[in-house]
Amino acid sequence: MSEVATQINRGIPPLGDLLASTQQIVDTELRPLTVDIDLEGVYPESVLKSLGREGAFMQHLPAVRGDGKTDLAAAIQTMATVSHECMSTGFAVWCQDTCGWYLQNAANPTVRDNWLGKVGSGEVLAGTGMSNTMKAFAGIEPLRLKGKRVDGGYVVNGNLPWVSNLGEGHVFGTLFEVEGSGGRSVMALVDCDSEGFSLRLSAHFMALEGTRTFACIFEDVFIPDEMIIDDDGAAFLKRVRTGLVLLQFGMGVGNIQSCIDISRGVEPLLGHVNAYLDDRPDELQEELDDAVEAVLALAEEPCETSDEYFREILELRLAAGEMALRASQSAMLHTGAKGYLRAAPAQRKLRESYFVAIVTPAIKHLRKELESFAEAA
């Protein structure tokens, strides 16, 4: 058993038990908060802590589990259970899971040993500041953070416009370009309590207001060597990209399934007229089931780094974004005027579905990357 797993000192619950305990947290702790999370921006910290205690954030982290297993499928299904009720909380789960994935794959054992157990258990809440990185490596925009090598670490300057699941005592993973290195980049874990680092509330969103999303300002922030995840940022990104994108399916599947369930829920009353609509719930369910089967099959090889394997994941990720938009519009049309009420689940799912379509990698980003793969073939 690893040192990190020994620190946690707990057994891994069977998937059925985990999903049942997750659903109980959703029913008893999350659902009473969902509307306030959505409309008032309430941050579901207590819910996240409860999920962490149940083992929701460690399923894909063999160093925390202690059994050597990387169960990415369990992480996806757990996230889907949360996202089915509330995408804000589901996205926070993705942030937590993804930061844990970075630490699990760290080249530097010091940062892994010091932080993976805390993030994997939910003792420390965590985010991921990799949207800019993924866009930069796809040729969409330049890297926003620059680091200068100094004795014992790096001094980093720049800003990231939107990073989520942050606050006092939180950490997040991000990547910066090293000045004078010819384009070399470094992956690091950033402590939000670091001197020179600040969080700025820069915008309000049409959905996911409860995610504690801030602009991150770096003003001569010292990142010590013990917080460096990997000195080769490009190699690290290729190593973790499969898991990073696969985990996003937890949000998409939860959103789409909730939309299907909403449409089905009004069938007894409106089925006679809803029969004239496109994207009927049974049709969408069959499409979703096929997609989930494909995703869970790909999740069996989360450490696969080949471009062909990643292309398959991007194709499914694109389909998920497009399906979320169709399913949420279908739910709105199936529910009619009742779905148009401010606190109605259907209209919330519609707004949340756009996040599935635009969170990095967004639909346009995915189409660009897939075209690049096709041209290189």
The SS3 call for residue 276 is coil
- 18-47 per-residue burial string, b: 16 or more CB within 10 A, e: under 16: bbebbbebbeebbeebbbebbeebebbeeb
Cα–Cα distance measured from residue 107 to residue 115, given in angstroms and rounded to the nearest whole number? 13
Residue 1's pLDDT band, with cuts at 50, 70 and 90, is very low
For residue 156, give the nearest of 235, 236, 217 by alpha carbon.
217
pLDDT of residue 11: 56
pLDDT above 70 as % of the chain: 97
Fold designation for 234-376: Butyryl-CoA Dehydrogenase, subunit A; domain 3 (1.20.140)
Over the chain, what is the mean pLDDT? 95
Question: Which tens digit of pLDDT belongs to each residue from 283-300?
Answer: 999 999 999 999 999 999
| pLDDT at residue 317 tops 70 | yes
Check if the beta carbon of residue 228 is closer than 8 Å to that of residue 103: no
Domain assignments of the chain as residue spans, ordered by start:
3-124, 129-232, 234-376
Eight-state DSSP code of residue 8: H
**Which of the four CATH numbers 3.65.10.10, 2.40.110.10, 2.60.40.3140, 2.40.340.10 does domain 129-232 have?**
2.40.110.10
Phi and psi of 218, rounded to 5°? Answer: -110, 115
Q: Are 253 and 80 in contact (CB under 8 A)?
A: yes
Structure confidence at residue 377 (pLDDT): 79
Count of residues for the chain?
A: 377
Please say if the pLDDT value at position 14 is more than 80: yes
Quick one: tokens of 83?
């996202």
pLDDT at 356 over 60: yes
Question: Does the N-terminal peptide bond of residue 361 adopt cis geometry, omega within 30 degrees of 0?
Answer: yes
Residues 29, 90, 330, 266, Cα dihedral to 10°: -20
Rounded to an integer, the average pLDDT of 42-57 is 97
pLDDT grade for 6, boundaries at 50, 70 and 90: very low
Closest CA to 72 of 81, 82, 80, 61: 61
What's the rounded Cα separation, in Å, for the pair 103 and 60?
11
8 Å CB contact between 247 and 77: no
pLDDT tens-digit series, residues 177-217: 999 999 999 999 999 999 999 999 978 999 999 999 999 99
Q: Which CATH architecture has domain 3-124?
A: Orthogonal Bundle (1.10)
The alpha carbons of the chain give a radius of gyration, in whole angstroms, of: 20
Q: What is the pLDDT of residue 320?
A: 98
- With 0.75 as the threshold, say if the pTM is over it: yes
State the Cα–Cα distance between residues 373 and 371, nearest whole angstrom: 5
Residue 116 in tokens: 């993976």
Burial environment of residue 250 by CB neighbours within 10 A (0 to 12, 13 to 18, 19 or more): buried
Share of the chain above pLDDT 90, in %: 93
Of the candidates 234, 334, 229, 224, the one whose C-alpha atom is nearest the C-alpha of residue 278 is 334
What is the C-alpha separation between 69 and 67, in angstroms, rounded? 6
Q: Which amino acid is at 271?
A: G
